[in-house]
Amino acid sequence: MRHHIKYIAFFLSVALFISTSCENSVQEVAAFTNIEKQPAVSAKKVEVMYSDSGLIRLILKAPEVIRMADPKDPYMEYPQGIDVTFLNGNHEIESTLTAKHAVYYEKKQFWIASNNVVAYNKKEGKTMNTEELNWDIPKERFYSDKFVRITSPDEVLYGEGFQANQNFDNWKILKIKNSYITLKE
């Protein structure tokens, strides 16, 4: 019987130690175990092709993607950036978009590209630089309220705010701050 009492006393002292040394609030435990805030899927070296009517229209490459399965607002985060190529019906490059960080909200079909965003329209030879660019897929438009610079072969425009169609061939700067014209010899 004494032998059992030693084990019971040891077990109770260990249980008492564990219960007093590990103290978390209900909120801390709930936050840690909240599935909605945990990544559902992650992948490395991603390449995604979007097609329309059997034609590839967009190729997205990213070093990493993390999908968060929040039932209210699921999204995919690209913490190491994206490299997007837009193609025309002849499978030729129309424009490109790169950013060092991006988030895609699935339900809204809405992108936010940030941190050194560069968009290039091959046909017009124009490059747009900004720190944040929003892409509203249902409305087929890009926009930003941040500083923007657009460089073409013969001028450089600076301003705040930007709007463009999805192909970057119809665009405008909302508040032009400065412009420089390159003189050709």
Closest by Cα among 30, 33, 62 to 48:
62
Number of domains within the chain:
1
21 inside domain: no
Does the structure show a pLDDT above 80 at 132? yes
DSSP collapsed to 3 states, the chain: CHHHHHHHHHHHHHHHHHHHHCCCCHHHHHHHHCHHHCEEEEEEEEEEEEEECCEEEEEEEEEEEEEECCCCCCEEEECCCEEEEEECCCCCEEEEEEECEEEEECCCCEEEEEEEEEEEECCCCEEEEEEEEEEECCCCEEEEEEEEEEECCCEEEEEEEEEEECCCCCEEEEEEEEEEECCCC
pLDDT of 31: 52
160 inside domain: yes
Q: What are phi and psi of 99, to 5 degrees?
A: -155, 155
What is the Cα–Cα distance from 37 to 16, expressed in whole angstroms?
A: 32
70-122 pLDDT, tens per residue?
888 899 999 999 999 999 888 899 889 999 999 999 999 999 999 999 999 88
pLDDT of 115: 97
- What domain range is 120 assigned to? 40-181
Instruction: Supply the CATH number for residue 145's domain.
Output: 2.60.450.10
23 inside domain: no
Q: Which residue has the higher pLDDT, 137 or 27?
A: 137
Its pTM surpasses 0.85: no
35 inside domain: no
101 inside domain: yes
1-24 pLDDT, tens per residue?
444 454 444 444 444 444 444 455
94 inside domain: yes
33-81 pLDDT, tens per residue?
555 566 678 899 999 998 888 889 899 999 999 999 888 889 999 999 9
13 inside domain: no
87 inside domain: yes
